[in-house]
Amino acid sequence: MVFMNEFILPLSFTLDLLFGDPRWISHPVTWIARLARTAEERLRRTELPLRLAGILAVIIVVGGSAGAAWLLITLAFHLHRVAGLAVSIYLLYSSFALRDLGDHAGAVQSALEAGDKELAREKLAMMVGRDTATLDDAGIALAATESVAENTVDGVTAPLFYALLFGPVGAVAYKAINTLDSTFGYKNERYLEFGWASAKLDDLANYLPARLTVICIAVAAVIGKLRFFDIFKSVWKGARLHESPNAGYPESAFAGALGVTLGGERSYGGEIHHAPQLGVKPGQCNALIIRQSIALMWMSAVLFLGAGVGLRFLLLS
């Protein structure tokens, strides 16, 4: 039985590039999120300490998602090899968010270029959690660029990394981990203890992909005639300043490559937060920078896939 044929990962990646998230069928992340909410509801009814309950939620959701993917692929292969390959391709395809991320950022870029600030804010609100109502053009472009930079790992290179290592089951397991962090990984009263395991596992899962992505961003910057040397200066100077142990790496790399400063003041639910400033040049973001960030993300993703498939071929041949 073959769960990871060499052609299915490039094919799945190409499907995402062409079509984005599948709209015609329920997305696996939707089911993962439902399982997470159900597990939370049931576990909070117990008398377990919240941190232990959160650890059990991680085991249930990640183990259940990976197990369901494995079972689905196994059953499909028992029916027919083509069915097994089709299910494997779909699970991989639905694990990537390259096209959708680029489309969302591109919509913000287009609105800014058209001078429609309200539409740009509306499109931006679909990408980020920060307050957008009072952002000016530079603030809108900054938020969109930061979202592209951070989600290059979460939405593209990290699922690619685990797909390369463990096939479709690995990609689904990663999406479960990432969904748990998005659902429970908040440092507030409700989730500080219950979400502890989800946040820590997400940090661990993204550790290597975030750092490997910097290398691909650097190569992509050379191809795109951006600022290669500033990438490493920016990462060295600012990556560890970020609240996240991983997000600072792609964000610093993008800031260096694009010649801008990311971070600074932003509002969430009316509360002002200050993110560290990343980058080595004082440039401001604008519509052109959003366009360049999308191109940088696409090229970095293609390079990550190419390097991974090539290395896998060498190791397995």
Would you say 174 and 205 are in contact if contact means Cβ atoms under 8 Å apart?
yes
Residue 87's Cβ-side half-sphere holds a number of Cα atoms within 13 Å equal to 20
d(CA 120, CA 285): 14
d(CA 13, CA 221): 21
Mean of pLDDT values over 295-311: 96
Mean pLDDT computed over every residue of the chain:
93
Q: Where are the beta strands (DSSP E) in the chain?
A: 262-268, 271-278
> Which two tokens mark 62?
């990640």
Q: How many residues does the chain have?
A: 317
Would you say 279 and 262 are in contact if contact means Cβ atoms under 8 Å apart?
yes
pLDDT tens for 178-218 read 999 999 988 888 999 999 999 999 999 999 999 999 999 99
Out of 21-30, 61-70, 84-93, 116-125, pick the least confident: 21-30
Q: Exposed, middle or buried, 218 (CB in 10 Å: 0-12/13-18/19+)?
A: buried
pLDDT tens for 266-292 read 888 888 888 999 999 999 999 999 999
Model pTM? Answer: 0.93
- Between residues 27 and 2, the one the model is more confident about: 27
Type of residue numbered 135: L
Helix (H) or strand (E) holding 33: helix 28-44
pLDDT tens for 69-113 read 999 999 999 999 999 999 999 999 999 999 999 999 999 999 999
**Residues forming a β-bridge with 278:** 262
Give the pLDDT of residue 4. Answer: 56
Domain boundaries, the chain: 8-309
The sign of the CA dihedral 56, 60, 62, 67 is positive
